[in-house]
Protein backbone atom coordinates (compact mmCIF):
# COMPACT_ATOMS: atom_id res chain seq x y z
CA UNK A 1 0.00 0.00 0.00
CA UNK A 2 2.79 2.36 1.01
CA UNK A 3 4.81 1.43 -2.08
CA UNK A 4 1.84 2.11 -4.34
CA UNK A 5 1.33 5.50 -2.67
CA UNK A 6 5.02 6.35 -3.04
CA UNK A 7 4.96 5.30 -6.69
CA UNK A 8 1.86 7.47 -7.26
CA UNK A 9 3.58 10.44 -5.64
CA UNK A 10 6.65 9.86 -7.79
CA UNK A 11 4.56 9.80 -10.96
CA UNK A 12 2.76 13.00 -9.88
CA UNK A 13 6.05 14.79 -9.15
CA UNK A 14 7.54 13.61 -12.45
CA UNK A 15 4.47 14.80 -14.34
CA UNK A 16 4.63 18.14 -12.55
CA UNK A 17 8.32 18.65 -13.36
CA UNK A 18 8.04 17.50 -16.99
CA UNK A 19 5.10 19.85 -17.55
CA UNK A 20 7.03 22.71 -15.97
CA UNK A 21 10.05 21.90 -18.15
CA UNK A 22 8.12 21.95 -21.42
CA UNK A 23 6.18 25.09 -20.53
CA UNK A 24 9.46 26.77 -19.57
CA UNK A 25 11.18 25.57 -22.76
CA UNK A 26 8.24 26.72 -24.88
CA UNK A 27 8.24 30.14 -23.23
CA UNK A 28 12.01 30.50 -23.64
CA UNK A 29 11.77 29.47 -27.31
CA UNK A 30 9.01 32.02 -27.92
CA UNK A 31 11.07 34.75 -26.24
CA UNK A 32 14.18 33.90 -28.27
CA UNK A 33 12.09 33.88 -31.46
CA UNK A 34 10.62 37.26 -30.62
CA UNK A 35 14.11 38.59 -29.92
CA UNK A 36 15.41 37.33 -33.27
CA UNK A 37 12.49 38.74 -35.25
CA UNK A 38 13.78 42.34 -35.56
CA UNK A 39 17.02 41.09 -37.13
CA UNK A 40 15.04 39.05 -39.64
CA UNK A 41 12.74 41.96 -40.45
CA UNK A 42 15.35 44.71 -40.62
CA UNK A 43 18.35 42.69 -41.69
CA UNK A 44 21.20 42.06 -39.32
CA UNK A 45 22.34 45.66 -38.85
CA UNK A 46 23.95 45.20 -35.46
CA UNK A 47 26.07 46.38 -33.86
CA UNK A 48 26.96 43.18 -32.03
CA UNK A 49 29.68 42.77 -29.52
CA UNK A 50 32.44 40.29 -30.27
CA UNK A 51 34.62 38.84 -27.54
CA UNK A 52 37.82 38.80 -29.59
CA UNK A 53 39.36 39.81 -32.92
CA UNK A 54 39.09 36.17 -34.00
CA UNK A 55 35.39 36.04 -33.21
CA UNK A 56 34.79 39.31 -35.06
CA UNK A 57 36.63 37.95 -38.11
CA UNK A 58 34.61 34.74 -37.93
CA UNK A 59 31.34 36.70 -37.79
CA UNK A 60 32.34 38.98 -40.63
CA UNK A 61 33.97 36.27 -42.70
CA UNK A 62 36.85 38.66 -43.43
CA UNK A 63 40.21 39.75 -42.05
CA UNK A 64 40.24 42.91 -39.96
CA UNK A 65 42.74 45.70 -40.64
CA UNK A 66 45.08 46.18 -37.70
CA UNK A 67 47.75 48.83 -37.20
CA UNK A 68 51.36 47.74 -37.49
CA UNK A 69 52.36 50.57 -35.21
CA UNK A 70 50.71 50.30 -31.84
CA UNK A 71 51.67 52.88 -29.22
CA UNK A 72 52.84 51.60 -25.85
CA UNK A 73 50.29 53.82 -24.10
CA UNK A 74 47.35 51.80 -25.49
CA UNK A 75 46.22 48.56 -23.88
CA UNK A 76 45.86 45.35 -25.86
CA UNK A 77 43.50 43.66 -26.66
CA UNK A 78 40.84 46.20 -27.68
CA UNK A 79 38.51 47.23 -24.87
CA UNK A 80 35.45 46.66 -27.06
CA UNK A 81 34.89 45.05 -30.45
CA UNK A 82 31.66 45.53 -32.37
CA UNK A 83 30.59 44.19 -35.73
CA UNK A 84 27.62 45.23 -37.87
CA UNK A 85 26.15 44.62 -41.29
CA UNK A 86 26.37 40.82 -41.27
CA UNK A 87 28.88 38.92 -43.45
CA UNK A 88 31.50 41.24 -44.92
CA UNK A 89 30.09 44.09 -42.84
CA UNK A 90 32.05 46.51 -40.71
CA UNK A 91 33.97 46.43 -37.46
CA UNK A 92 34.69 48.93 -34.72
CA UNK A 93 37.64 48.46 -32.38
CA UNK A 94 37.84 50.67 -29.30
CA UNK A 95 41.29 50.85 -27.68
CA UNK A 96 41.67 52.14 -24.14
CA UNK A 97 44.76 53.88 -22.79
CA UNK A 98 46.68 51.93 -20.15
CA UNK A 99 46.52 54.84 -17.72
CA UNK A 100 42.80 55.31 -18.33
CA UNK A 101 43.48 58.37 -20.47
CA UNK A 102 42.60 59.09 -24.06
CA UNK A 103 41.80 56.18 -26.37
CA UNK A 104 41.59 55.30 -30.02
CA UNK A 105 38.80 54.02 -32.25
CA UNK A 106 39.24 52.19 -35.52
CA UNK A 107 36.14 51.68 -37.66
CA UNK A 108 36.48 49.90 -40.98
CA UNK A 109 34.52 48.17 -43.72
CA UNK A 110 35.73 44.71 -44.68
CA UNK A 111 34.75 44.89 -48.36
CA UNK A 112 36.10 47.24 -51.01
CA UNK A 113 33.74 49.95 -52.24
CA UNK A 114 31.26 49.41 -49.41
CA UNK A 115 30.34 52.09 -46.87
CA UNK A 116 30.96 51.53 -43.19
CA UNK A 117 27.80 50.23 -41.45
CA UNK A 118 26.06 53.35 -40.04
CA UNK A 119 25.32 51.53 -36.78
CA UNK A 120 29.03 51.68 -35.94
CA UNK A 121 29.49 55.38 -36.59
CA UNK A 122 28.41 57.47 -33.63
CA UNK A 123 26.52 60.70 -34.20
CA UNK A 124 29.14 63.40 -34.43
CA UNK A 125 29.47 67.09 -35.15
CA UNK A 126 32.20 68.04 -37.61
CA UNK A 127 33.94 71.21 -36.40
CA UNK A 128 36.31 71.44 -39.32
CA UNK A 129 37.82 69.24 -42.04
CA UNK A 130 40.69 69.43 -44.47
CA UNK A 131 42.02 67.10 -47.13
CA UNK A 132 45.22 65.24 -46.43
CA UNK A 133 47.10 62.16 -47.62
CA UNK A 134 47.71 58.85 -45.88
CA UNK A 135 50.27 56.60 -47.52
CA UNK A 136 49.71 58.30 -50.85
CA UNK A 137 45.92 57.95 -50.65
CA UNK A 138 43.59 60.93 -50.36
CA UNK A 139 42.16 61.28 -46.87
CA UNK A 140 40.15 63.71 -44.76
CA UNK A 141 41.33 64.94 -41.41
CA UNK A 142 38.51 66.34 -39.30
CA UNK A 143 37.97 67.68 -35.82
CA UNK A 144 34.76 66.18 -34.54
CA UNK A 145 32.67 66.35 -31.39
CA UNK A 146 31.26 63.05 -30.14
CA UNK A 147 29.04 63.48 -27.09
CA UNK A 148 30.72 66.79 -26.37
CA UNK A 149 34.24 65.33 -26.52
CA UNK A 150 36.67 66.49 -29.21
CA UNK A 151 38.35 63.85 -31.40
CA UNK A 152 40.72 63.98 -34.34
CA UNK A 153 39.25 61.85 -37.10
CA UNK A 154 41.01 60.56 -40.15
CA UNK A 155 38.99 58.90 -42.92
CA UNK A 156 40.35 57.31 -46.06
CA UNK A 157 40.41 54.01 -47.93
CA UNK A 158 42.81 51.11 -47.63
CA UNK A 159 42.69 49.00 -50.80
CA UNK A 160 39.17 50.30 -51.40
CA UNK A 161 38.04 49.53 -47.84
CA UNK A 162 36.67 52.56 -46.01
CA UNK A 163 38.50 53.28 -42.75
CA UNK A 164 37.86 55.82 -40.00
CA UNK A 165 40.46 56.31 -37.29
CA UNK A 166 39.71 58.51 -34.31
CA UNK A 167 41.95 59.56 -31.50
CA UNK A 168 41.87 61.92 -28.57
CA UNK A 169 45.62 61.84 -28.43
CA UNK A 170 48.47 63.31 -30.43
CA UNK A 171 47.87 64.02 -34.16
CA UNK A 172 51.28 62.67 -35.16
CA UNK A 173 50.48 59.45 -33.39
CA UNK A 174 47.16 59.22 -35.25
CA UNK A 175 48.82 59.67 -38.63
CA UNK A 176 51.56 57.19 -37.75
CA UNK A 177 48.98 54.56 -36.77
CA UNK A 178 47.03 55.27 -39.97
CA UNK A 179 50.10 54.82 -42.14
CA UNK A 180 50.91 51.56 -40.41
CA UNK A 181 47.57 49.91 -41.16
CA UNK A 182 48.16 46.75 -43.12
CA UNK A 183 47.93 47.24 -46.83
CA UNK A 184 48.92 50.89 -46.87
CA UNK A 185 51.61 51.49 -49.40
CA UNK A 186 54.55 53.77 -48.80
CA UNK A 187 54.87 53.14 -45.07
Partner 1 sequence: MRRRGTVESASWADILAQAIFHTLVASLFVEALVRSWGVREPRQRMALRLTALGYPLVLFPALVALFPSRGEEGFREDLALFDARSWETVRLLGVGLFWWWLAAFAAAGAGLFLMDLWPVLRGRGRRAPAGELPDPASAAVLAAELPRAAAALGVREPPLVFLGRDLPVLFCTGVRRPALVVSGGTLSRLDRDELAAALAHELAHVAGRDPLKSWVLMGLRAVMFWNPAFQVVSRALARDAEWLADERGAAACGDRLALASGLLKLHRATAGASGVPRSLPFAAALAEPLARVRSHDIEVRCRRLLDGAPARLPYAGVRVALAGGALAALLFFVI
Binding site for partner 1 (CB under 8 A): 9, 12-13, 16-17, 19-20, 22-24, 26-28, 31-32, 34-35, 38-39, 41-42, 45, 47-49, 51, 80, 105, 119, 122-123, 146-147
Nearer to partner 1, 125 or 185 (CB): 125
- Distance (Å, rounded) from C-alpha 56 to C-alpha 89? 10
User: What residues pair up with 129 in beta bridges, in sequence order?
Assistant: 142
- To the nearest whole angstrom, how small is the minimum distance from the Cβ of residue 156 to partner 1? 21
- To the nearest whole angstrom, how small is the minimum distance from the Cβ of residue 32 to partner 1? 5
First to last CA, the chain: 89
80-84 vs 90-95, strand pairing mode: antiparallel
Measured on CA atoms in the order 96, 165, 127, 49, is the torsion positive or negative? negative
Nearer to partner 1, 12 or 170 (CB): 12
Nearer to partner 1, 13 or 112 (CB): 13
- To the nearest whole angstrom, how small is the minimum distance from the Cβ of residue 136 to partner 1? 30
Nearer to partner 1, 40 or 172 (CB): 40
Residues 6+ apart with CB under 8 A from 139: 131, 132, 133, 154, 155, 156, 178
Amino acid sequence: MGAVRASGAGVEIARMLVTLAYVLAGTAAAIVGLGALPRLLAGDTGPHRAASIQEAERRLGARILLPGYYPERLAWPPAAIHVAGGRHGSVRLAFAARDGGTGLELVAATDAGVDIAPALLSDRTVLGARPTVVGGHPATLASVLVEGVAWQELSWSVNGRAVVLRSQGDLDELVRIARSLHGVSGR
